[in-house]
Amino acid sequence: MSSADTVNGGISFWYADDGLPAPREPLGGDTSADVCVVGGGYTGLWTAYYLKKAAPFLRVTVLEQRFCGYGASGRNGGWLYNGIAGRDRYAALHGHEAAVRLQRAMNDTVGEVVRVAAEEKIEADIHQGGVLEVAYTPAQLARLKAFHAAELSYGEGDRVLRGARETAERVRVAGAVGSSWTPHGARLHPVKLVKGLAAAVEALGVTLHESTPVTDIRPGHAVTPYGTVRAPYVLRCTEGFTASLKGQRRTWLPMNSSMIVTEPLPDDAWDAIGWAGRETLGDMAHAYMYAQRTADGRIAIGGRGVPYRYGSKTDTAADPGRTQAATVEALRTLLVRFFPQLTGVGIDHAWAGVLGVPRDWCATVALDRSTGLGWAGGYVGSGVATANLAGRTLRDLVRRDSGQAGATDLTGLAWVDHRVRKWEPEPLRWLGVHGLYAAYRAADRRELARPTARTTRLARLADRLTGRG
Ligand SMILES: Cc1cc2nc3c(=O)[nH]c(=O)nc-3n(C[C@H](O)[C@H](O)[C@H](O)COP(=O)(O)OP(=O)(O)OC[C@H]3O[C@@H](n4cnc5c(N)ncnc54)[C@H](O)[C@@H]3O)c2cc1C
């Protein structure tokens, strides 16, 4: 199959597979609500879901610029897992025990998403096979062992370190020298989850308005071209699109992530690859990849590609999800490096989306008690599960602030109410991010060419900048 046969864009493969949702009505004029949620991705929808479940009398309105699941929630790799961006920094700021509590909350969150999906009868191809991270160079193996030890220190006693042979018994990645596996992860179909969640939220009585871009958020108001929603609480759940809101240009940087998906693989390919456990699959490269075995027998694999567009641009409404041809080829090369028997395999679809990156690379959830403005995000690519924890936490923060409930375990977690400075203006922002990823790619190439157990100095420096080291 030639690359000319690959569909590029169209939001994502997941929509090509499951269909676009029927559109919901835009806002029809000025109105009021008790809580107004801006953004209909996982964060906004989970927040609306838990608020309405806890307090059915609340009038909750969600405003979405395009349609629910238009953003990363309809384009991601379907890793529902227990990673949260910034945990190590939160350990440094609030102590190890606080970070252990945050990690435990994330471990529980994986089970919570699976539980609600079952309760709401959301068929999202969920398979609880855990997360398998492999190393295929000596430097990656050294990092894998350090990563494994760190995860154990955050209370993940059920994590398993495997050697080359045991790794191959799970999945045969070419040249793999070891892996670390955690049970706290599941594979899912992102669009089936977001569509099911939007339907569940609507069935609970939440008002969803689509094709309704919010142009300004200020205390008590969410302003759109079709009217203003007045509400004592306005919650910003716009992740990678946040820069387009008034006053938020440098809050979270919209980072691109791109994916490709193969055609369905024949049985003999699966016999050669293994992967019967359907773990989500990652590696220990600096410009790391993520992959899943889909329910219909394909491999979906993602990575960074062109990391960032000048001026915090996201994709255009006319061509959403399109990624660069060079990125498609780079992902195909990566796929074949992992599974050489897939040389020449058909790539059915390629796409991209944006995720939100704060200046200190730490996810956060907050409610400003003096203004009633709240927000959650900055998940840096680990948002499928984290958005659920954010939704439950925003529920608790709103209920505490409005006197409906007291403080909870969630309102005391280390990531709550964390503040960080804004990104630098352009061109520094563009130069910084592109320099960072050029350094990571060069480090990966060097580690492949000259196998030593030591991570290159360049990558260690970049890690310090991103908080990964
Ligand atoms: C290609 C890719 C792969 C990924 N893979 C994984 C993965 O495997 N595992 C993982 O944990 N994470 C992954 N992520 C990250 C994860 O998908 C996100 O962190 C998560 O979906 C964020 O959900 P959200 O609701 O906060 O943001 P989004 O899903 O981006 O939702 C924000 C919504 O707000 C709307 N919006 C924005 N601005 C406005 C406005 N002004 N007015 C009204 N509406 C607005 C948008 O249209 C959008 O629907 C991936 C991301 C990408 C892009």
Q: Are 224 and 212 in contact (CB under 8 A)?
A: yes
Nearest to 307 by CA among 358, 253, 378, 360: 253
Question: What ligand 1 atom has the least distance to the C-alpha of 386?
Answer: 11
pTM exceeds 0.75, yes or no: yes
Rounded-to-integer distance, Cα 305 and Cα 343, Å: 20
Residue 140 structure tokens: 């990656």
pLDDT of residue 204: 98
Residue 464 structure tokens: 């310090």
For 259, counting Cβ atoms within 10 Å of its Cβ (0-12 exposed, 13-18 middle, 19+ buried), the class is buried
> Which parts of 415-454 are beta strand (E)?
none
CA of 275 to the centre of ligand 1 (A): 28
Name all domains of the chain by residue range, CATH numbers in brackets: 128-184+254-355+428-466 (3.30.9.10)
Phi, psi of 341 (to 5 degrees): -65, -10
Q: Lowest-confidence range among 225-229, 385-389, 425-429? A: 425-429
Bond before 427 cis per omega within 30 degrees: yes
CA of 428 to the centre of ligand 1 (A): 25
Nearest to 80 by CA among 180, 182, 199: 182
Q: Are 1 and 12 in contact (CB under 8 A)?
A: no
Residue holding tokens 């610029």? Answer: 65
- Using a pLDDT cut of 70, give the percent of the chain over it: 96
Residue 326 structure tokens: 């060079």
CA of 322 to the centre of ligand 1 (A): 16
Best probe residue, ligand 1, of 109, 237, 238 (max atoms within 8 Å of C-beta): 238
Q: Are 174 and 279 in contact (CB under 8 A)?
A: no
Interval 140-152 mean pLDDT: 96
User: pLDDT digits over 289-323, tens only?
Assistant: 999 999 999 999 998 766 777 776 777 677 899 99
User: pLDDT digits over 154-198, tens only?
Assistant: 999 999 999 999 999 999 999 999 999 999 999 999 999 999 999
User: pLDDT digits over 341-350, tens only?
Assistant: 999 999 999 9
Question: What ligand 1 atom has the least distance to the C-alpha of 356?
Answer: 19
User: pLDDT digits over 68-104, tens only?
Assistant: 999 999 999 999 999 999 999 999 999 999 999 999 9
Rounded-to-integer distance, Cα 278 and Cα 183, Å: 12
Question: What ligand 1 atom has the least distance to the C-alpha of 390?
Answer: 26
pLDDT of residue 361: 92
Question: What ligand 1 atom has the least distance to the C-alpha of 45?
Answer: 25
CA of 240 to the centre of ligand 1 (A): 6
Count of other CB atoms within 10 angstroms of residue 39: 29
Helix (H) or strand (E) holding 111: helix 96-119
Q: Atom 15 (ligand 1): residue with closest C-alpha?
A: 381
pLDDT of 17 strictly over 80? yes
Q: Are 241 and 249 in contact (CB under 8 A)?
A: no
Instruction: Give the type of residue at 34.
Output: D
User: pLDDT digits over 360-373, tens only?
Assistant: 999 999 999 999 99
Nearest to 337 by CA among 134, 190, 200: 134
Alpha helices in 241-365 (DSSP H): 267-273, 325-338
Nearest to 210 by CA among 221, 218, 202: 202
How close are the terminal C-alpha atoms of the chain, in Å? Answer: 41
Best probe residue, ligand 1, of 214, 239, 313 (max atoms within 8 Å of C-beta): 239
pLDDT of residue 466: 63
Alpha helices in 171-292 (DSSP H): 190-203, 267-273
Rounded-to-integer distance, Cα 25 and Cα 34, Å: 20
Residue 340 structure tokens: 């050489």
Instruction: Beginning with the edge strand found earlier in the chain, give each strand of the sheet holding 364-368 in spatial order.
Output: 207-209, 60-63, 35-38, 233-236, 373-377, 364-368
3-state secondary structure of 414: coil
CA of 237 to the centre of ligand 1 (A): 9
Question: What ligand 1 atom has the least distance to the C-alpha of 377?
Answer: 26
pLDDT of residue 449: 79
pLDDT of residue 431: 75
Strand partners, 218: 221
3-state secondary structure of 91: helix
User: pLDDT digits over 261-291, tens only?
Assistant: 999 999 999 999 999 999 999 999 987 899 9
Give 403's DSSP letter: T
Rounded-to-integer distance, Cα 332 and Cα 450, Å: 23
Question: What ligand 1 atom has the least distance to the C-alpha of 81?
Answer: 11
Residue 437 — pLDDT band, cuts 50, 70, 90?
confident
Q: Which residues line ligand 1 (CB under 6 A)?
A: 38-44, 63-66, 70-73, 75-79, 213-214, 237-241, 244-245, 257, 259, 290, 302, 353-355, 377, 379, 381-385, 387
Q: Are 273 and 339 in contact (CB under 8 A)?
A: yes
